[in-house]
Every structure is written in structure tokens, then in C-alpha cells.
Amino acid sequence: MAGTFNPGGVNASPTLLVNATSDGGKAPTGYLTATVADHTLSGALTAATYKEMLAVSGAGVLRYCAVRAVDTTSRTLGIKIVIDGTTVYDAVCTACTAENDGLRAFSPETLPMQLPFASSLSIQIKSSLSETDKVGLLVDYYTT
């Protein structure tokens, strides 16, 4: 059937993503830029509350996902990835104090593969501050 993956193996949707940033409270990753992925500003964020930034229905592959600050205001950032209804990644970084600081949830640098999803992908971000367009989502995915 078109648009579906073979069950099991590397084509299976992940149930947990474990990498260097998956534990909470990690130091922010610097120099996250929009050159490797699509960049979308957050719009209005409520402090410490996740906001869904991307919702995809159907099958596809996630290739890159990060959240970044667009200025030097100190804030804690979080990102959550839900694949096929399962939260596979949910972490925060400690205070970001430089432009382009943030949290790289998934990239070729953290895991040398792509993350397939069979029916849905949701990416949510949060900031420790209530603010508008001061946080950006970097994402690269495609649908099948």
C-alpha cells in the first residue's frame, strides 16, 4: 500500500528517541541556524506551555528538528516530538542566553538516520517566558 512502511526494523516508527539532548536540563546548543531546515517563528507563546508548531497527517520522515532563541534574552526552551501518537522526545535545555542557542532534538549529528512516521507527526515547543516570535522551530521532513 502506498505511503506505508514495512513493519519492524529501521522502517518502524520510533517509540523513544535517546540522544545527547534527550535528558532534561542539558546545556543549550549554540549556532542553530535556518540554513539546514525550514525556520518558523513561534508566534505567541505562554510561559512554560507547549504550543504545537507542526502537525502532519500521513506517512513521512523527519530529518531534522530543533528549537532556538532568536535573541539574547535568557530563557529555557523545550521541544516535544510525537510520532504516531507516541511521545518519543520531550526535553528542555537550561537557560539560553545567546542568539541561536537552543535544543537540537534530532539531526544527522545526533543520530545518523531519519525518523519515519506512519500516520502522524506533531512538534511542540515552549519557552519559560510569555513572548511572541522570539523562539523559532527548525524542522526538515518530507511526506511519502
Domains within the chain, CATH numbers bracketed: 14-143 (2.60.120)
What pLDDT, on a 0 to 100 scale, did the predictor assign at position 58? 96
Q: Which of 20, 140, 28 is nearest to 77 (CA)?
A: 28
Average pLDDT over the chain, rounded to an integer: 87
User: What's the predicted TM-score (pTM) here?
Assistant: 0.87
Return the SS3 of 11: helix
- pLDDT higher than 60, residue 5: no
The percentage of the chain sitting over the pLDDT mark of 90, rounded to a whole number, equals 57
pLDDT at 34: 61
Cα torsion 129, 133, 137, 138: sign: negative
Give the Cβ contact number of residue 38 at 10 Å.
13
